[in-house]
Amino acid sequence: MLSNPSRGNAQRDEAMNQHANPQSISQQADELEEHMMHELERVVSKSTLHYLADGEVKMDSSAGLWAKHPGAVFNMGPDPRLPPMPAKPTLVDYFRCRFASHAHLLQSATHALKAGHNEKVILACLLHDIGVVSFIRCDHGYWGAQMIEPYVDEEVSWAVRTHQALRFFPDEAAGYKYPEMYIKLFGDDYRPEPYIVAEYERAKNHKWYMTSRLICVNDIYSFDPNAKVNLDDFVDIIGRNFRQPEEGLGLDSSPSSHMWRTMMWPNRFL
Ligand SMILES: [Fe+2]
Ligand SMILES: [Fe+2]
> pLDDT by residue (tens digit) across 163-210?
999 999 999 999 999 999 999 999 999 999 999 999 999 999 999 999
Which pLDDT value is given to residue 237?
A: 98
Q: Quote the mean pLDDT of the chain.
A: 88
Task: Grade residue 20 by pLDDT with cuts at 50, 70 and 90.
Answer: very low
Q: Is the pLDDT of residue 154 over 50?
A: yes
* Spatial CA neighbour of 36 closest among 83, 72, 90, 68: 72
Which pLDDT value is given to residue 94?
A: 98
Task: Grade residue 220 by pLDDT with cuts at 50, 70 and 90.
Answer: confident
- Alpha carbon of 72 to ligand 1 centroid (Å): 41
The full length of the chain comes to: 270
Q: pTM for the complete prediction?
A: 0.85
Containing H/E element for 125?
helix 119-127
Which pLDDT value is given to residue 23?
A: 53
Q: Is the pLDDT of residue 22 over 70?
A: no
Question: Which residues are near ligand 2, the ion (C-beta closer than 5 Å)?
Answer: 129, 219
Q: Is the pLDDT of residue 122 over 90?
A: yes
**Cβ-contact 267, 29 below 8 angstroms:** no
Q: Is the pLDDT of residue 34 over 90?
A: no
- Alpha carbon of 167 to ligand 2 centroid (Å): 9
Which pLDDT value is given to residue 2?
A: 29
Task: Grade residue 149 by pLDDT with cuts at 50, 70 and 90.
Answer: very high
Cβ atoms < 10 Å from Cβ of 243: 14
**Strand, coil or helix: what is 74?**
strand
* Cα 256 to Cα 151: distance, rounded to the nearest angstrom: 10
- Alpha carbon of 104 to ligand 2 centroid (Å): 7
